[in-house]
């Protein structure tokens, strides 16, 4: 089971992500602001962070920069997502330290592949 933090300002999107990953046996933590996200990153052990580029209190690039500069999480993969055209944002996201970039909307199979590709399987069962 992976512990995944979703950061997005759209409550419908967060609820959709949460329900989808829980169906597949993972735990979803959700944050609708950068401040909430930072608090969760400090308090929780995370296997994957999925971060929307457009946030109300701080854009995704600024949050990603703070995460990296303050070493809030060191090795947790961070996937940047955005509805912006991929060509315009992908290089910037990767240069800022994102592990990967995915255009929104994210299909369920793409979401599950992200989780599979960027988390370590739980072999403790």
Return the pLDDT at 122: 56
Q: Which helix (H) or strand (E) holds 62?
A: helix 60-69
Q: Which CATH architecture is the domain 34-118 placed in?
A: 3-Layer(aba) Sandwich (3.40)
Whose CA is closest to 118, among 31, 49, 30, 44? Answer: 49
d(CA 47, CA 38): 15
For range 55-83, the mean pLDDT: 90
Give the three-state DSSP class for 3.
strand
| pLDDT tens-digit readout, 61-71 | 999 998 988 88
Coil, strand or helix at 101: strand
Assess whether pLDDT exceeds 80 at residue 86: no
Answer yes or no: are the C-beta atoms of 64 and 97 closer than 8 Å. Answer: yes
What are 2-42's pLDDT values in tens digits? Answer: 999 999 999 999 999 999 999 999 999 999 999 999 999 99
Rounded to two decimals, the pTM is 0.91
* Domain locations in the chain as residue ranges: 34-118
């Amino acid at each position: 089971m992976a512990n995944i933090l979703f950061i997005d300002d759209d409550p419908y999107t967060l609820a959709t992500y949460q329900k989808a990953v829980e169906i597949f046996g993972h735990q979803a933590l959700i944050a609708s602001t950068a401040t909430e996200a930072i608090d969760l990153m400090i308090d929780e052990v995370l296997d994957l962070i999925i971060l929307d580029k457009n946030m109300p209190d701080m854009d995704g690039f600024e949050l990603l920069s703070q995460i990296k500069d303050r070493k809030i999480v060191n090795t947790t993969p961070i996937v940047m997502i955005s509805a912006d055209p991929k060509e315009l944002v992908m290089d910037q996201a990767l240069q800022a330290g994102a592990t990967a970039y995915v255009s929104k909307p994210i299909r369920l199979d793409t979401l599950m592949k992200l989780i599979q590709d960027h988390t370590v399987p739980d072999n403790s069962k």
